[in-house]
Copies of this chain bind each other. A is one copy, B any other.
Amino acid sequence: MNIGEVASRSGLPAKTIRYYEDIGLVTPPRDTNGYRAFRESDLHKLAFLARARALGFSIEECRLLLGLYEDESRASADVKRLAQEHLASIDEKIAKLQSMRATLATLVHACHGDDRPDCPILQDLAEGT
Contact = CB atoms under 8 A, between A and B. Distances in A.
Interface of A: 44, 47-48, 51-52, 54-56, 65, 68-69, 71-77, 79-81, 83-84, 86-87, 90-91, 93-94, 97-98, 100-101, 103-105, 107-108, 111-119, 121-122, 124-126, 128
Contacts of A108: 80, 83-84, 87
Q: 9 tightest CB-CB pairs across the interface, nearest first?
A: A80-B113, A76-B119, A75-B115, A77-B113, A80-B111, A79-B119, A56-B100, A83-B108, A69-B122
Residue among A69, A98, A121 with the highest chain B CB neighbour number at 10 A: A121
Given A77-B114, A113-B77, A97 B104 contact: no
B83 A128 contact: no
Residue among A97, A116, A124 with the highest chain B CB neighbour number at 10 A: A97
- Please state the number of chain copies in the assembly: 2
A90 to B, nearest CB: 5
Contacts of A104: 55-56, 83, 86-87, 90
A113 B76 contact: yes
Contacts of A48: 125-126
16 contacts: A48-B125, A51-B124, A52-B125, A55-B103, A56-B100, A68-B122, A69-B122, A71-B117, A74-B122, A75-B116, A76-B119, A79-B122, A80-B113, A87-B101, A94-B94, A97-B97
